[in-house]
Structure 1
Amino acid sequence: MSYVRFENVKKIYHAGEVDIEALSGASFEVEKGEIAAIVGASGAGKTTLLNILGGMDKLTSGRVFLDNREISNLSQRELTTYRRYDIGFVFQFYNLIQNLTALENVSLATQICKDPVDSAQILREVGLADRMANFPAQLSGGEQQRVAIARALAKNPKLMLCDEPTGALDYNTGKAILKLLQDTSRRTGMTVIIITHNQALTAMADRVIKVRNGSIYSVEKNDHITPVEEIEW
């Protein structure tokens, strides 16, 4: 069985008198340990997919599974627990708490999960051994994004969801962040889903899911994965 599974998922938003169909029958699967890239233009439905999978939004119809558990029928309370224990989130903006150090930001996340990884160890692994006592304002954008990734990894999640994780970063820093995600997935077997509008990044993914106008129009397995450091865009 696939690790992540969407079955004919529809999402309709009601805006006054108007119904907006953000997803219209989306179906795809991702295997355990894969990096999947979800690509498409702005407004295609990528973030809606991610929010439903992450338990931040409810679908209108269809079914969604993670690790053989149907998450599309969970209550709000169950979804809170699901987000807390099973999902790591990395967004375009880092959402760090400004008056906490890098180590404290990561440690905060470990206090609400079952089987956390040591915060200092994770910060060392993401290359921030000498930045643990720094506050976010004392860190570069790339360093802040590394803290955000460390915070997500420290939860030891089943699934890492990344929404445009390099969107606020320069080219070289963005590549370093993607390499970190690729290396971590390969080393730990963690499943990673990355949303991007950058087609070039599909070369690093095991599976490429293309979204257009709320529909999945192709799912391709990538047999020739490129190390991030060799990708140009």
Structure 2
Amino acid sequence: MGSFVTLKDVCKSYRMGEVTIHAANGISFEIEKGEFAVIVGPSGAGKTTVLNMLGGMDTCDSGQIVVDGEDIAAYSRKQLIAYRRYDIGFVFQFYNLVQNLTARENVELAAQICKNPMYAEEMLREVGLGERMQNFPAQLSGGEQQRVAIARALAKRPKLLLCDEPTGALDYNTGKTILKLLQDTCRSLGMTVIVITHNLAIAPMADRIIKVKNSRVEEIKRNENPVPVERIEW
């Protein structure tokens, strides 16, 4: 089976005054369709840069970024806008919900910008929020808000679900339920999910673990027997 996501010799540097920071220094890896992949590494290792480039929010200086057969590194600005809009689902550490819209309206907002959305009610039921559709974000716990964010991302039927420290703002138990939801979603929908985290302990739940250090890939591990989140302690 061919890979669904391929990064090949991807480089990205930033100028900070007199200093050049190499955020990605020849990063290469592959992820197969339907895999739950974890990109793990310390703060400043280059994880978020990789995620931003994969999501079309940032561009690379050189290299290839191929998603579902398309080299998005060669895309124009206009093509990147369509790619972000139609092909990518995002889940961030801080839920980025619109505060004056209900949970249902937040999910519907995403559905309005894509071609073949899933129903907001259906997605909220999927993430266990069938009873909270009319609640505003301020009336929901952190874990519930993150569920709304996941429902919003999934309503777009994205090719790729990108999650940046999705449990970073949550307590231990809530974090585990969110990771379980992501793992289950990956399995039930056959969706390709990439989670970036500094927490190495969650790596055993992934099909593929990509360790990033000093803006390079340090190790890639294919995990034949992913562990259910419930059995992971940290």
* TM-score band, normalised by shorter chain: over 0.9
Instruction: Name the SS of the counterpart of 1:58 in structure 2.
Output: coil
| Structure-2 residue corresponding to 1:200 | 201
AA aligned opposite 1:16: G
The one-letter amino acid paired with 2:119 is D
Pairwise mapping of residues 1-233 of structure 1 onto structure 2 (< 5 A)? 1-233=2-234
CA deviation after TM superposition for structure 1 residue 224, in Å: 1.8
> Which secondary structure state, in structure 1, belongs to the residue aligned with residue 124 of structure 2?
helix
Deviations 1:144-180 (A, max 9, x none): 0000000000000000000000000001100000000
What is the letter of the counterpart of residue 10 of structure 1?
A: C
In 2: Cα distance, 1:36 partner to 1:156 partner: 18
Give the whole-Å Cα distance in 1 for the aligned partners of 2:107 and 2:100: 13
1:17 deviates by 2.6
Instruction: For residue 168 of structure 1, give the secondary structure of its aligned residue in structure 2.
Output: coil
Q: Report the secondary structure of 2:94's partner residue.
A: coil
How far apart, CA to CA, are the structure 2 residues paired with 1:69 and 1:145?
30
Q: Partners of 2:175 and 2:146 in 1: how far apart?
A: 9
- Counterpart secondary structure, 2:48: helix
Q: Secondary structure at the match of 1:8?
A: strand
Unaligned runs of 5+ in 2: none
Question: What's the Cα RMSD here?
Answer: 0.6
Deviation of residue 56 (structure 1)? Answer: 0.3
Q: Secondary structure at the match of 1:149?
A: helix
Q: TM-score, normalised by structure 2?
A: 0.99
Identity of aligned residues (%): 66
Q: CA deviation at 1:19?
A: 1.2
- For the residue of structure 2 that corresponds to 1:134, the secondary structure is coil
1:16 CA displacement = 2.5
So what's the TM-score if we normalise by structure 1? 0.99
Deviation digits for residues 59-113 of structure 1, max 9, x if unmatched?
0110100001110010111100000000000000000000000000000000000
1:116 deviates by 0.6
Kindly report structure 1 stretches of 4+ aligned residues shifted beyond 6 Å: none
Ranges in structure 1 where 5+ consecutive residues have no aligned partner: none
Give the aligned residue type for 1:17: E
- CA-CA distance at 1:29 after TM superposition: 0.1
SS in structure 2 at match of 1:79: helix
How many residues are aligned here?
233
Write the distance in 1 (CA, Å) between the matches of 2:233 and 2:225.
Answer: 16
